[in-house]
Structure 1
Amino acid sequence: MKEFFVLLKDGNKPSLLAAIINTVIAILKGVAFFFTGNVAMFAEMLHSFGDAANQLFVYIGSALSKKAPTKRFPNGFGRLVNLVLLFAVIIVGILAYEAIIEGWHHVIHPTESEGLWIIVGVFSLAAILEFSVLYKAGKEVLHETNTEGTGFAPIIKSFSVLSKAKPATKLVFMEDLVATSGNILALIAVFIAHYTGFLAAEGYASIIIGILMFYVVGRIFLDNARGVLGETDEQMTQHIARLVMEHEAIQDIKMLSVVKEGEFLHVEVMAEVDSTLSFAEVDDIRDHLVDLILHQPNVQDVHVSFDEDDGVMTWDTAKQNATDFKKNHPEMK
């Protein structure tokens, strides 16, 4: 149990913050729904409870994934965060379905909500709080991808580099983007229903919110299904190939594998060197490459082996693309 609490200190902080804030928001929405009967409020209450549960699972999963390898699990627990996220999206999927069903019932049998300014106040406060979490998650995305930016950059720039962020941070960003949008959409629907008499607007808003939640479910499911299977990180493969080929003693790369497990990367390299090099020289080259690769972002372990140069270039793309890759990816040092 002591180890569990120690690991929690290294959990994904944006997901913990998001879980706390979404719990508070969900309770506020639940109270508002009790007094007003607003169906859009009901959908957003489900959304917030789903996000809170999701993000709590993400926080715990991201922490446990950092547990050191054991004799029983020698490859470590990196993929645990992917498994947790796959479980978490099931919860969101169920709540998304409920939001759509409830919205459809309201479209067919529209009823007028009470307490307009209670609804407006709760949705406005929720939108502000959700946006603050979204901004924090955006800053974390920029930090994890070595992207600079101030002002609104954590929101604007995050979209272009989101695929490079850690799974937990990516989920928090996407969920709170949808949550912020959902609060604004629900607020608009409330005003339309109140001032035009088109009461079904709240039901349609609930349906759209549910569809947006399903979109997050789909994106997160696909991303983490690949992670559970052990996905090759193509960008880091090119980057590490460049680092290896830049060493003057390396003639070619016979095999290079960069597999992503959760937040971590496992690297295996077989390089070709001149057969005239001594064992001591080859050992020094290995130590240098291992140290160099371990200092790259999210690399957890490295295995480097060698074979004698056969005179045939099998990894020519590494040298051909090295200059262009370095120019197009300045964040990779």
Structure 2
Amino acid sequence: MSSHTEGSTKAIFYALGANGGIAVAKFAAAIFTGSGAMLAEAIHSLADCTNQVFLLLGLKEAKRPPTASHPMGYGRVVYFWAMMVALLLFFLGGAFSVMEGIERLKHAEPLKNPVVALAVLGISVVLEAFSLYGAMKEINKISGGKSFFTWFRETRQSELMVVAGEDIAALAGLAVAFVAVVLAVATGNPVWDAVGSIVVGVLLMIVAFFVTREVKAMITGESAAPEVNDAIKAHIEAHPHVESVINLITLQWGEQLMIAVQAKMRRQESDLALVHAINEVEESIQQTWPQAKWCFFEPDIEAGKD
């Protein structure tokens, strides 16, 4: 297992453990207090647990060996499961919370035992912060000093991106739910609790939208991260057998990478020598980037030149 996959798996297990405990506590508190915002948070945590199971299934399926019908393997299946997670986050988490909030607006009821709800929310913040810390720790190992938002836009690790997005949404949702319960108690108006549920739902749908947008790009087919693309081109051009790179295409295939190179080679003594030179270039690429499982090399001349 590669270090990147190990990091993603660790982050997913952090999140699964935290959200499992949080979901149980929230459901108990929602039943005990009658809080709509708390119920919305409980549904959100349950959806997160399901999401993390999906991500683990995706990572496991991605390791299946290539077959005749899937000659490049199953690496990109992780993007399918990440999209499933984004849809669940939007509908089961966000849309349900909004619907629950609207229902509570129509039939507002005073909260029971709000102290219990606040205590559970406080504990949930600690557990969710632990999960986010685990995800950010793994992200910092691979981000190369980029800001989180830059990394989020450029990363090709859908599973780690989804976990981080979920954790951020969860912490923000917990803050909203906490404020909603406090306002409902302080004012004696249960409408604040319903409003909190709606705000939590909208927040989840916004996060789900951004996650979906990034995963869609991965499913469509994205190159390697910009800095990896630039480094591969520089590496090829620095090779003594290569005069210049005419065209370079990289395609992220889950954890693995496909590279297609069109380059002008330096003159060789024979066709056999040219083949050996190309093999040397390909081997050097795959030694430097072990994730580059496929490397297709085409020697050519630049248009208009001999």
- Which piece of structure 1 moves more, 301-310 or 72-81? 301-310
Please list, as runs of the form range in 1=range in 2, the aligned pairs for 1:93-172 lying within 5 A after superposition.
93-95=90-92, 96-147=94-145, 157-165=147-155, 166-172=157-163
Distance 1:145 1:10, change over 3 A: closer
Summarize the alignment of residues 223-242 of structure 1 with structure 2, pairs less than 5 Å apart: 223-233=214-224, 235=226, 236-242=228-234
Inter-CA distance 45–253: structure 2 relative to 1 (3 Å threshold):
same
Q: Which amino acid aligns with 2:36?
A: V
Gaps of 5+ in 1: 1-7, 149-156, 314-333
Distance (whole Å) between structure 2 residues aligned to residue 277 and residue 31 of structure 1:
78
Query: Which stretch shifts more, 262-271 or 280-289?
Result: 280-289
> What does residue range 274-313 of structure 1 map to in structure 2 within 5 Å?
274-279=266-271, 281-296=273-288, 299-310=291-302
Provide the residue aligned with 1:76 in structure 2: 73
After the TM superposition, list the runs of 4 or more consecutive aligned residues in structure 1 that deviate by more than 6 angstroms. 8-11
Query: Over residues 18-58 of structure 1, what are the superposed CA-to-partner deviations in whole Å (9 max), with x where a residue is unaligned?
Result: 12321221111111111111011011001101111011101
Kept after mapping to 2: 8 A contact 1:163/1:170: no
CA shift, 1:297, in A, is: 5.6
8 Å CA contact 1:131–1:180 kept in 2: the answer is yes
Given that 2:8 and 2:160 are in contact with CA atoms closer than 8 Å, whether structure 1 keeps it comes out as no
Residue 16 (structure 1) aligned to one of 7, 13, 25: 13
Compared with structure 1, are the counterparts of its residues 23 and 297 closer, same or farther at alpha carbon in structure 2 (3 Å cutoff)?
A: farther
How far apart, in 2, do the equivalents of 1:159 and 1:146 lie?
Answer: 13
Q: After TM superposition, give the deviation of residue 295 of structure 1 in Å.
A: 4.3
Q: Deviations over 1:193-213 (max 9, x none)?
A: 111223211111111111111
| Partner amino acid, structure 2, of 1:161 | W
- Aligned match for 2:170, one of 161, 164, 179: 179
For the 8 Å contact 1:137–1:169, the answer to whether it is kept is: yes
Q: Deviations over 1:114-133 (max 9, x none)?
A: 11221111000111100110
User: Which residue among 238, 248, 252 is the counterpart of 1:246?
Assistant: 238
Deviation at 1:185, TM superposition (A): 1.3
Residue 263 of structure 1, CA deviation:
3.0
User: Residue 35 of structure 1: which of 27, 32, 55 is its match?
Assistant: 32
Deviation at 1:224, TM superposition (A): 1.8
Q: Deviations over 1:54-85 (max 9, x none)?
A: 11101220222132322231011111001111
Identity of aligned residues (%): 23
Per the alignment, residue 196 of structure 1 pairs with 187
What is the CA-CA distance between 1:300 and the residue it aligns to? Answer: 3.4
Q: Secondary structure at the match of 1:186?
A: helix
Residues 286, 187 of structure 1: alpha-carbon distance in 2 compared, 3 angstrom cutoff: same
Return the alpha-carbon distance in structure 1 between the equivalents of residues 139 and 289 of structure 2: 13
Residue equivalent to 1:91: 88
- Residue in structure 2 matched with residue 58 of structure 1 by the alignment: 55
Q: Distance in 2 between matches of 1:55 and 1:43?
A: 19
The TM-score normalised by the length of structure 2 is: 0.88
Residue 308 to residue 29, structure 1, CA distance change in 2 (3 Å) = closer
TM-score normalized by the length of structure 1: 0.81
Describe the superposition over 1:234-279 as per-residue Cα deviations: whole angstroms up to 9, x where unpaired.
6133321111112233122233210122233211112111334444
Instruction: Work out the number of aligned pairs and report it.
Output: 298
Contact 1:79 1:262 in 2 (8 A): yes
Q: Which amino acid aligns with 1:112?
A: P
Contact 1:263 1:298 in 2 (8 A): no
